[in-house]
Structure 1
Amino acid sequence: METASILIVDDENAIVKMLELMLKKEGFQKIFIAHTAHDALSVIEKQKIDIIILDVMLPDGSGFDLCPKIRQISSAYIIFLTAKVSDLDVLTGFATGGDDYVTKPFNPLEIGARIKAYLRRKSSGAVELTNFHTKRYDFGRFIVDEGAGELIVNDEVIACPTQVFLLLLYFCKHPNMVHSKAKLLDAVWGFDHFVDENTVSVHIRRIRERIEKDPSHPEFLLTVRGLGYKLVKGNER
């Protein structure tokens, strides 16, 4: 039986029932429902939520507007669910704090597969931690604590969405190496769905906004023109 808690945020009852039925068949029992942005925040404030399926169009606002508010109180894995399909909409979803994106109409089993893939990646990270005992990565200005799932910048814990944290953690485990966008997509996202190379650029920017003094002139997470990105110590440019 799956132990992850999942919140479905959608005002269409048919979609909610379909997703709830699928998730229960897949073994998920901790399922919460919200039909509005207001109700979603209320649930998240009261419950420990691991995964959020978030519709973009809600009766009292946009999921894109709701996502940053969620990020202030939760690091849950957020899957946007919407009929919008343009590249700008997809990038907006990632930029506001989302981790994944599914367009309507959809097969509910696809969402179940993505959730399980995320949980497998999260679980394999825990196994790797146990085997190699690499819990903290200290870069001076910031520390990534793998065991606690925390990013600490200047002694302050900084909120970090799941996919942003996993990407930063991957860089920390492979410092001073150049990683192409394609390699990062394969290593961090790890399964086929709508994620293109622009997604990496958005997440790189989100990392820099957290770890760099000046995100436009990075000292740690550097761009290697034509090749990709690498993470270095501040004095190892």
Structure 2
Amino acid sequence: MANVGVILIILGALLLLGLFGDLLARRIPVPRVTLLILFGVAIGASGLALLPARTEDWYPLISNIALLMVGFLLGGKLSVVNFRQVGKNVLGISLFKVAGVALFVLLGLLLIGVPPAMALVLAGIGPATAPAAVSNVVEELGGEGKFTETLLGIVAIDDAWGLIAFSLLLAVAQTMAAGADGSALGAIQHGAWDLGGALVLGLAVGVPAAFVTGRLRPGEPTQAEALGVVLLAGGLALW
């Protein structure tokens, strides 16, 4: 029971520290997410090392739950109505962003002498974004309007394009490094499994949940239902 008590104390302290960061960010010209990162560095192993070593074991669970919540909220921004209004811009900008970043990273690494196979892999990783940080800043500023909807839509969908780009570039890199021996096909299949599986799972869980919670027809969606859907979809995806 002592271990449970320590876990609860640490989680409670971290939540209160986050609340303090939110209050402090309202009084100084620094984004809330920046303060939270600085707080994390300060209390973590790189700073004062205030957290017990075993807290690292909690990170996968806590970070996965947080990212599940962010993904769910961002997905809510891609409603049919919003997509009709900003969908063309979201698709165009996100595709240009992913392709542009991958290309610039690839060319930059090749110019400084990085081996082509390694440059391709790093170029595939380059377009990845941090949706939590963007959505946090937008929420803090209370941003609304077409620009905000477009930005959140891009953040929500560009990781899917990034996964496709990474799978293709990884396949090319593996072919260059080891020859065309099936490893390239395996990389593409893995990427297709991740992306296709996510789409199928999202539809399989999301469509019934939408009817249950009133997203597609009038109803009273509750917090418990939303949490259940998010955790169920995330758990199945990890499994």
Q: Relative contact order (alpha carbons < 8 A, sep ≥ 6): 1 or 2 greater? A: 2
Q: TM-score range by the shorter chain?
A: under 0.3
Give the TM-score of the pair, scaled to structure 1.
0.23
Give the TM-score of the pair, scaled to structure 2.
0.22
The structure with the greater share of residues assigned to helix is 2
The structure with the greater share of residues assigned to strand is 1
